[in-house]
Amino acid sequence: MVRRLSLALPLMLMVAACGGSPSAAPQADQQAKLFEPPQPSRGALYVYRSGLMGAMRPVDVSLAGGASAQLGYHTFIRVEGPPGPIDLACKVGDNTTNSQIQIQDGQIRFVEVSMRAGLWTPSCDVAEVPPDQGEAAVRSYRRVEPL
């Protein structure tokens, strides 16, 4: 039984990596991991998916202004836009969690999205994290393209 489980976990993780938005080109993935400042008069936001809960099910993420993505296990997006408040929503099934992140000119912010168990159905959490925590996660995750 233990051997069967040890073989099943890597297979589940490979299947989970296939779900969600399409992968970014390797060059775009590496570029995002340099954490370069955004263009003048803009801010940058990294949104990444963490945790094993619901690893085989993508989390829908949408930002005011139209950017959206389906974040699979250990994936992220980077978006740039004008400074100001950014409305962010994550959705799992019928459950939606909304948050607002304030971005200043030239600033980079990081948001972690994770799935959690609910009473009847799963839901998601949105939490802004410190830059060092966000950078560490993004370095080991895979960039996907917004839809």
pLDDT tens-digit readout, 9-67: 333 333 334 457 899 999 999 999 999 999 999 999 999 998 776 677 889 999 987 78
Distance, CA of 140 to CA of 76 (rounded, Å): 10
Domain ranges of the chain: 2-143
What class does CATH assign to 2-143?
mainly beta
104, burial (CB in 10 Å: exposed 0-12, middle 13-18, buried 19+): exposed
Using an 8 Å Cβ cutoff, are 77 and 146 in contact?
A: yes
pLDDT tens-digit readout, 73-106: 899 999 999 999 999 999 988 889 999 999 999 9
The whole-number pLDDT of residue 51 equals: 76
